[in-house]
Amino acid sequence: MSCFLTCVRFDDSITTTTTTDNKQPTITGSVSVSGVTCYTWDDVESLTSNFSRLIGSGGYSSIYLARLSGSTKAALKVHAGSHRLYQVFRSELEILLRLQHPHIVKLLGYFDDSEESGALLLEYLPQGNLQEKLNRNSKQVLPWRNRTAIAFQVAQAIEHIHEKCIPQIVHGDIKSSNILLDKHFNSKLCDFGSAKVGFSSMVQPCTTTSTSSPRSKQVTMIGSPGYTDPHYLRTGIASKKMDMYGFGVVLLELVSGKEAVSAERGEMLVHAAAPLLDSSAEIGEEKVRQFLDPRLFKDSSLDLEEVKTMLCVAAFCLRSAPSLRPSASQVVQTLVKKIPSLSYLGCGKEE
Ligand SMILES: Nc1ncnc2c1ncn2[C@@H]1O[C@H](COP(=O)(O)OP(=O)(O)OP(=O)(O)O)[C@@H](O)[C@H]1O
């Protein structure tokens, strides 16, 4: 690991009627003080033209294309069918109501039946998620310059939730399918359904029922295969550093263009990258080239020194002891210093 130390150092209710075009029925929503609209179920059906276009799905929800007034698009994330899913919705809603950051998906409105169903109306990100964009079958190759910018913007979003908002938030599921891209390939962190609020550093993610004894405590595990911090898997202790671990895996995906868990062989990317990341010698250019997404060789924005920096930062984020992993602000500072092309993004300043 010493080579990384030489290449990267971390310094220490007013009711209103929304006007619509002729094709849409009238939507009536009540706008809260924060500008987030509370919709009825009829509104939700109208906005999505009766859920006609599914644009994504996850373990907890289905996401539909919605149309606001004029031609503005939005995404409606629906959690329905059980009290458990309703709780996930409430938790994500409460967190998104607190968050405002250029690289975190924006909440526009919501529907809440207070029992079993809820829906979040989110800004629409037309380029979908990062995992799809990095996929080898994707028609478009994401240029190197965009990959470094995405890493930087995600680090800024994590820095915001970990260090700049009160109370602080641990995302709990940092992965490439939770990073959405706008038309310019700027990134926005999404899916706060696993997030934990109010951490100063660490907390045990346990849930108990009212009649339960300490023995019957249920541990709610969070995270996704290929991204989960081994320390969290061993101890059940969630912390900001588990987000940094997930971020380290995303960096490996950005460099290699490979998935966190290979679809064909089931191999984890962190294992495939281990010889490169654990090496005590200087990372040789040959090894970097072998790991690099081959589609980037023709990219004029590719810079092998920047690739090495991304790998060095990944190595630190993936360290087994959480205390040895960098904070998000250390990563932001390091990326700005070591990757000159990021200067066009405003050097770490929030937009
Ligand atoms: N605002 C949006 N704009 C465009 N696409 C979106 C948007 N929100 C979600 N999606 C799509 O839907 C997918 C699933 O979204 P999300 O991760 O929020 O759902 P989930 O049910 O919480 O999933 P998970 O299984 O990861 O917990 C995303 O990867 C993305 O492809």
Whole-angstrom distance, CA of residue 274 vs CA of residue 42 = 52
248 and 119 in a common domain: no
Catalytic sites, residue numbers: 173
Residue whose Cα lies nearest atom 29 of ligand 1: it is 177
Alpha helices (runs of H) in the chain, residue ranges in sequence order: 2-7, 41-47, 83-98, 130-134, 144-159, 230-235, 240-256, 269-278, 285-291, 304-317, 328-338
337 and 231 in a common domain: yes
Q: Which of 57, 63, 171 to mutate to test the pocket of ligand 1 (most atoms within 8 A of CB)?
A: 63
Residue 7 lies in a domain: no
Q: Which atom of ligand 1 is nearest to the CA of 193?
A: 22
Query: Mind giving me the DSSP string for 182-229?
Result: -TT--EEE---TT-EES-SSEE--EE--TT--GGGPEE-----TTT--
Looking at residue 200, its pLDDT comes to: 46
Q: Which atom of ligand 1 is nearest to the CA of 190?
A: 18
* 298 marked among binding-site residues: no
Reading the block at residue 217, the tokens are 């405590």
118 and 96 in a common domain: yes
Question: 78, 108, 123: which is the final residue of a domain?
Answer: 123
Residue whose Cα lies nearest atom 13 of ligand 1: it is 56
154 and 138 in a common domain: yes
Q: Which of 127, 177, 181 to mutate to test the pocket of ligand 1 (most atoms within 8 A of CB)?
A: 177
CATH code of residue 180: 1.10.510.10
Say which amino acid occupies 336: V
227 and 104 in a common domain: no
Contact call for residues 110 and 93 (beta carbons, < 8 A): yes
Whole-angstrom distance, CA of residue 141 vs CA of residue 165 = 35
- Ligand 1 centroid to Cα of residue 254, in Å, is 19
Map residue 101 onto helix, strand or coil.
coil
Question: 123, 141, 157: which is the final residue of a domain?
Answer: 123
Contact call for residues 144 and 218 (beta carbons, < 8 A): no
List, chain by chain if needed, residues with CB within 6 Å of any ligand 1 atom: 55-56, 58-61, 63, 75, 77, 105, 122-125, 128-129, 177-178, 180, 190-191, 193
Q: Which residues pair with 29 in a beta bridge?
A: 16, 39
Looking at residue 110, its pLDDT comes to: 96
247 and 315 in a common domain: yes
143 and 81 in a common domain: no
Residue 228 lies in a domain: yes
- Ligand 1 centroid to Cα of residue 191, in Å, is 6
Whole-angstrom distance, CA of residue 79 vs CA of residue 10 = 40
Q: What angle do CA 65, 95, 210 make, to 5 degrees?
A: 115
Cβ burial, residue 281 (10 Å; 0-12/13-18/19+): exposed
Residue whose Cα lies nearest atom 18 of ligand 1: it is 191
159 and 112 in a common domain: no
- Which residues constitute the domain of residue 90? 37-123
pTM more than 0.80: yes
Structural domains of the chain, count = 2
Residue whose Cα lies nearest atom 20 of ligand 1: it is 58
Question: CA torsion 59→61→62→65, rounded to 10°?
Answer: -130
- Ligand 1 centroid to Cα of residue 129, in Å, is 8
Contact call for residues 18 and 69 (beta carbons, < 8 A): yes
Q: Which of 124, 133, 190 to mutate to test the pocket of ligand 1 (most atoms within 8 A of CB)?
A: 190
| pLDDT tens, the chain, 351 aa long | 333 333 455 544 333 333 334 444 456 666 664 789 999 999 999 999 999 999 999 888 999 999 998 789 999 999 988 888 999 999 999 999 999 999 999 999 999 988 889 999 999 999 999 999 999 888 889 999 999 999 999 999 999 999 999 999 999 999 999 999 999 999 999 999 999 987 544 545 444 333 333 333 444 667 788 999 999 988 888 899 999 999 999 999 999 999 999 988 889 999 999 988 876 667 788 889 999 999 999 999 999 999 999 999 999 999 999 999 999 999 999 999 999 878 766 544 444
Whole-angstrom distance, CA of residue 317 vs CA of residue 319 = 6
Residue 314 lies in a domain: yes
Question: 60, 95, 123: which is the final residue of a domain?
Answer: 123
Select from 271, 301, 317 the least CA-distant residue to 147: 301
Residue whose Cα lies nearest atom 23 of ligand 1: it is 58
CATH code of residue 73: 3.30.200.20
Q: Which atom of ligand 1 is nearest to the CA of 62?
A: 21
How distant is the alpha carbon of residue 62 from its chain centre? Answer: 17
Q: Which atom of ligand 1 is nearest to the CA of 125?
A: 3
- Ligand 1 centroid to Cα of residue 6, in Å, is 38
213 and 181 in a common domain: yes
Looking at residue 10, its pLDDT comes to: 54
Residue 58 lies in a domain: yes
Residue 23 lies in a domain: no
Contact call for residues 95 and 192 (beta carbons, < 8 A): yes
Whole-angstrom distance, CA of residue 145 vs CA of residue 215 = 51
Residue 277 lies in a domain: yes
Residue 118 lies in a domain: yes
45 and 144 in a common domain: no
107 and 223 in a common domain: no
Reading the block at residue 208, the tokens are 């108990």
259 and 136 in a common domain: yes
Residue 73 lies in a domain: yes
